[in-house]
Structure 1
Amino acid sequence: MAEPFFRTERLTVGYNGVPLIRDIEIRLDRGRILTLIGPNGSGKSTVLKSITNYLKPLCGAVYLESRAVGGMTGGDLSRLVSVVLTEKPRTELMTCGEVAATGRYPYTGMLGILSEEDRRLVREAME
């Protein structure tokens, strides 16, 4: 059986050392969609934040393409994963092109300055 694109092993998530959900086991092949369903406050966003390393897991591990997410740099992780959380981004003063261009930030330097190639890729994606 092929290694899944994404997997967790005995992942425990929570806040301030207090577990909210324990022993989460997820396996996901490339190109598949995973939906987390549950009532408000059940931990869906906490799981997503832990998977993307925005929140450190209390226990266990997350792997992406067989690499431990906890050992990746922010830049490496942002090239492989994107997530839309429930917090509403403040885009009311941004154009559609500016919102689309944020997808290129993992490929720019620390200042987030887009190259001509980045701008071309944004235009192509919007078309």
Structure 2
Amino acid sequence: MRKFAITLPVLLLTGCELGTALTNAGTEKAQYKSCIINQIEGLQSSPGIEGIDAEVTTDRAIMACKHREEIYVVEMTDLAMVLSGNMVKREKFLEDEEAKLRSDLHDLAQELVIDRT
């Protein structure tokens, strides 16, 4: 009950912004995943690339999708700002969470490479 009492005012304050922020963050994660898959498929179909290991493939895919990673971090930061009612400073959130967000995306890329090779 206590969690509900704390969460309800935040949800009322954020209103429609929350739905938009959630949608944008989800869309960007899907875009990142799609970019990684496209890179993996491109690397696999390139002549002379046979036999490269999963680590090299992962690194190349991550580098090629860096722009998607940046957009995802921005969208997740926006989501955090909406959820916190802008009570947390953007810089503080990025200081605390940016490395984890990027690490999660890199882990996703690695899993996709392993699944597809």
Shorter-normalised TM range: under 0.3
More helix by share: 2
TM-score normalised according to structure 2 size = 0.27
**Higher RCO (CA 8 Å, separation ≥ 6 residues):** 2
TM-score, normalised to structure 1, is: 0.25
Greater Rg over alpha carbons, structure: 2
Structure number with higher strand proportion: 1
